[in-house]
Structures are given as structure tokens and as C-alpha cells.
Amino acid sequence: MPPIQESQQVRLLHLSDLHFSEHADNEAENACHSVPLLQGLQRAVNGMSFDRALVSGDITDRGNVDAFLRARDFLVREYAIRGGQTVGLKLDNSILRMVPGNHDAFNTTMNGDWATRWQRSLENYHAAFPEQKLLEEGCSYDWIERDGWGLYIAYADTCLLGDPDEPETEAPGILADKIAKGRLLRGQAKQLLKWYDLGMSGKLSKPNSGGTISASLFSRSFKILMMHHYVFEPKNLPSEYLMRLCNRFDVFRNIALADFDALLCGHKHIPEFRRHTYGHHLERRGMHRFMFNHFRRKIGLPSKPVEFKDENGRRVSQRVVAGFAALGRYLGDLFLSSRNSNDDARWANMAELLKEGLKDPKGFQKRIGEACAFALTSGDKEPFTKNELEQVQEHLDRLTQEELKLLRNGFEPGRLVKTVKNRPFVQIASGSSTKRPKSSDKIRSFALLTVGKTNEGYRLSSDRYVWNSEAEAFQDTPEKDFLLFKSPG
């Protein structure tokens, strides 16, 4: 594989699940992190060059302030250990980016009893790392620009509770749910889509540097989302309900709607670099929303996420439009097909139906209305409400014939279908980097990721460093993970 020039690369250090306690001494009975691992990580990282240091949650084990301060000392400074030595990465704050994990939201006192260790607040996390607070609906974003291309990284807090003043939209029914499960709120999904729409229109601000990102550069950028919880279970491992992300398949659909290429996560302490495709996971409802959002942006309306609940807190499956399911002349038996259908013709029919609205806008809602049936559904959830279809119809009615002609010329259903179906997506999970090993949880690792621009598109590679207890060092594994992404557009 031909090398990529340094000017066309971005390197990302990916750490996760540090699980710091307040102790400096590795011999302390309740110490959760391992000083030998900290020292090994320091030796490995000190010889590396990278543009961002990313930590995907569980910085501490109990969420107490002293543990956060100990973690801060290690990450951006150093602290004293036995033998007159010090340990610390001394990372520049300008390149450090973090998201909280479920353990960080335990918010306990120094030696909090296990009975109190459930997700309650991020008050202690924010006290120790005020500059890492995710201010926009529990999200933030980053932009790294190279010669002719850019890397967009978004960060999301998936703690189940978060701050006390965060409105609860999906409260767990039992305390056990509050220990390790996570969620991505509707407001967060909307925020990620808002940034995507702004980027696609050339109105997204460059953080910390002023100006805006050009629409062309943003549309062609490589896009990464970092959060603590994983979406897809690691391969060949059993699913663990109490560690899951709530509504995880809806979460993936919303990740896809915001055009992300990769997810960085942790949580399960299992390192994995695993390829997926949009087409495999965007079943009926996700496909509908993806196509409809594309159509909405084309005509000048903002994107909408796949909803978990409506504005009144009811499941979106309770009162929805089933019209697309009934449009047999366009969609055939699409909605009777099995989940994860990859039938190109059926996907194309959806896109052609939307394009028809640009030819005969006056009849758009009428045609759908004739086939729509408003009723309770059993288990399925269509993404289009009556109000949304009315909004689209009203907007189409205001467009001139010249505007409609331009929109038709720029709408290519076949190309869109092929792009969406085969679009690669990779989930990159980090193992725990510094937690004291246990007999049932021994793998300790971190990764150095490289995103590079090639003539064909983007190449994402991962160098995984795994702890060798005999050598007392993190060692680069011989297997390299590579994935090539074709350039969009």
C-alpha cells in the first residue's frame, strides 16, 4: 500500500477506560488504576506524534473529585510515585478531548459505597475538567484542516443521567439500568444534525479559529463521532443488556443521518476495529428518514432525526403516517420485506417517489394522503408525521418552477441509493488503557489512529498497542487494521 504524505495525515491517540482512583500508590488496597500501566503508557506515548489525544470515557472508577484530579495530573501534568519517580503524559490541553463514561457519572465521595455507584451527575467531572464540558446539548465538535481536506470530529455524552438539570426523557425502570447503560438523547441527535446541515450549507463555524468551513470541504470531510458506549456488540461476544446503549439501532440511524464514517468508543474493555455498512443497518425506517432528510435539505428544510418519542413524550409509533408503506405502485412490497433489505430497486423507488414531488409539487401531499392511514401500529415505527408532510408540502408550494427545475436536475436517486447502500462505517472500540488487570479482564491496550487522504479517498488505519505484562510495556501488534473510504460526491 503506497505511503501517504505527512501533510495529508491526521493522527489520533485513542485512550479509554482509564478507571482512575485517587491513590498515587499502586499498593493501595482500593487502587483501581495500575501505576506500571501508567508508566508503560507514558513510555509508549512520549515517542509518538499526534494531532489529538482522545479519551472515550470512564476516566475514573467511582466519579469522585480526587480521582478526577489524579487523572488530570496524569493526563496534562505529572505526579509523584514511589522511588522518587514521577508519572504523567503532560499532554497539551489544546489537543486533549474527552467524553464522560458511566463510571464518571457515579459522582461519589472518595470511598463511595457500591450501593451509591449509579449514574447521577457529572458535577465532579466538570469540576476537574471544566474545559471538557460539552456545552451544546451534551455535544461538541472539532475541525482539523489539511491541504484540501478536513477531519470533523463530534463528541457526545452518553451517560444515562448526566447533570441533574438534564431533562429525563427515558428514565430506566430499575436501579440496575443506571449503572452501565447509556443513551443518546433526542436533543443530541438534533444537534448533530444541525451541525451537519450547517456544514453542508457552508455555515458551520471553525472552532477556536474564526471563519466558517466551506460547504465543499465539509461535504468531503472524514467524519468521526466519539462517545463512551458502543453501538454494536463486539464480535463473537454475548450481548450484555445492562451495558447497552438505549435504542441503539435508532442511535445508529441518527449517526448515519449525520454522515459519520466512524465511531470511537470504549466501555466494554474489548479492543476492536470492525467494518459495517449503512445498507446493512438502515432498515425500513432508517432508510425512509435518510432519503427524506436528503430531500428536505435539497428543498431548503433542516434535517430531522429518527425520533424515540414525540414532543408529548409518547412513543413515535403511536400516531404516525403509514403512507409510504401503502404506496404500492412505487414501493412494491418493500415494507413486507425482511429487516436490513439491500434491494437496490426498492431503495431507488423511494428516491424516485420523492423526486416526483419536484415534478408535481401540488400533488405531493395529495398522492401520499390518498394512501396514508393514521392508526396505531404494532411494533413498527414510521418516521413521518402528518405535520412534517404538511410542512414539506407548504415549502414545495412556495418554490418557483425555475427552482423546482434546478432541484430536479441536481437530484440523482440512483447514485444516492448506491452510495448509501455500500457506504462503509467502522466502529473502533478501545480496550481499557490503565485499569488494574483482573483475571476476567486482562487485555489492556490503546491505539494510534491515522486518517490519510489518498487519490481514491480516505484511508483509516489503526496501530493497536497491547500490554505485555512480562516485558512491562505496551507493544505494537503485528496486525494493522486498514479501511479505505471512497471520496464522497
Task: From 397, 420, 443, give the residue that closes a domain.
Answer: 420
How many folded domains does the chain comprise? 2
Name the domain boundary from 369, 388, 420: 420
Q: Tell me, yes or no, whether 471 and 383 share the same domain.
A: no
Burial bucket for residue 433 (CB in 10 Å: 0-12, 13-18, 19+): buried
C-alpha grid cell, residue 132:
471538557
401, 443: one domain: no
Q: Are residues 343 and 467 in the same domain?
A: no
Q: Are residues 462 and 375 in the same domain?
A: no
Please check whether residue 180 lies inside any domain of the structure.
yes
218 with 345, same domain: the answer is no
**pLDDT given for residue 287 in this prediction:** 78
pLDDT of residue 421: 81
Contact 480, 463 (CB under 8 A): yes
Q: Do 220 and 302 belong to one domain?
A: no
247 is a domain residue: no
Residue 468: which CATH number? 3.60.21
Write out the residue range of the structural domain in which residue 448 sits.
12-229+266-271+430-486
Within a domain: 214: yes
- One domain for residues 109 and 209: yes
Domain boundary among 420, 442, 468: 420
Mean pLDDT in order along the chain per 10 residues (489 residues): 76 97 78 92 94 96 93 96 93 96 83 64 93 91 93 94 44 62 91 96 90 94 96 86 86 93 95 91 77 86 74 41 36 37 62 81 71 38 72 91 87 76 91 85 89 89 93 86 72
Q: 442 and 411: one domain? A: no
Pair 324, 448 in one domain: no
Query: 393 with 440, same domain?
Result: no
* 343 and 474 fall within a common domain: no
Based on the fold, state whether residues 109 and 144 are members of the same structural domain. yes
pLDDT at residue 111 in the model:
52
In this predicted structure, what is the pLDDT of residue 176? Answer: 62
Q: Is the pTM of this model over 0.85?
A: yes
